[in-house]
Amino acid sequence: MTRLVIHGAAGRMGRRLIAQAAETEGLSLAAAVEAPGHERIGSDAGTLAGIEPIGVPLTDRLPAAGQADVVIDFTTPAALRPLLPAVSAAKLGLVIGTTGLGDDDHAAIDAAGAEIPIVQAPNMSLGVNLLLDLAAKVAATLGEDYDIEITETHHRFKKDAPSGTAMGLAEAICHATGRDTGRDLVHGRHGAEATRMRGEIGMHALRSGDVVGRHTISYATLGEELQLTHLATNRDIFARGALRAAAWLTGRAAGRYGMKDVLGLENG
């Protein structure tokens, strides 16, 4: 039995994680954690998630060492930063679904990964992780004669742009083709001189209504275009992936893992 802690439990993803965990064999909710001063502190986590009460109150503290196994975090970079040393001190596993992370954040995750097992991914869905592999392989096969554009669409409330998944796709393509994310990504285009340059990857972020997530990679040359698209129709695909990662992580050695490890996908 994996004893879970949901960090950011009152958020949209946190509530879905609680509801999905309650229906998943082999998982139990040890704690539902929110920021100090949150208005729902003390509320039953099940009621908060729209299911039957489960006897776990929303709290602002992590469980003590030995009282849980894995923390799942879907919050913000600012909320994740103080969580890392706290989880490391408690010797818990950590699944990170938070996006918008910078280089310093990834360095901190690397450091924590020397002490505890961590799964971190820009997207937890199986389909997206297969798309990451496909996007890289298609780019490497087609070569520089094909222009690459990545478009992502999310709901109007999403804060970071481009999405973590879009950046993951760009990084996978750059790794497979010898490009550089600092040099070859172009974020949107405007102005009188916005002609496309050979080898660049266009990045475009749309924010619209209640779209859960749509990612499209376009590969186009003179005469043809190939598109790869992943569409998420609800948040449960991310919750199920994170819960699967948490169960997989239980008992693992310290290290930084990805969804390829969880899903048993080959590297490359």
Helices (runs of H) and strands (runs of E) counted in the chain: 9, 12
Cα 255–chain centre separation? 18
Does residue 158 carry a catalytic annotation? yes
Phi then psi for residue 240, to 5 deg, are: -65, -40
In this structure, the chain runs to a length of 268
Residues contacting residue 103 through CB under 8 Å, at least 6 positions apart:
none
* Structure tokens that stand for 101 in this block: 């992370």
137, 158, 175, 260: which one is catalytic? 158
154, 204, 215, 230: which one is catalytic? 154
d(CA 145, CA 142): 7
Give, as one character, the DSSP assignment of residue 98: -
Does residue 91 carry a catalytic annotation? no
Based on its alpha-carbon atoms, the radius of gyration of the chain, rounded to whole angstroms, reads: 20
d(CA 46, CA 54): 5
56 φψ region: left (φ > 0), alpha (ψ -120 to 50), beta (else): beta
Instruction: Determine which helix (DSSP H) or strand (DSSP E) holds 218, and give its type and residue range.
Output: strand 213-221
Q: Which residues are catalytic?
A: 154, 158
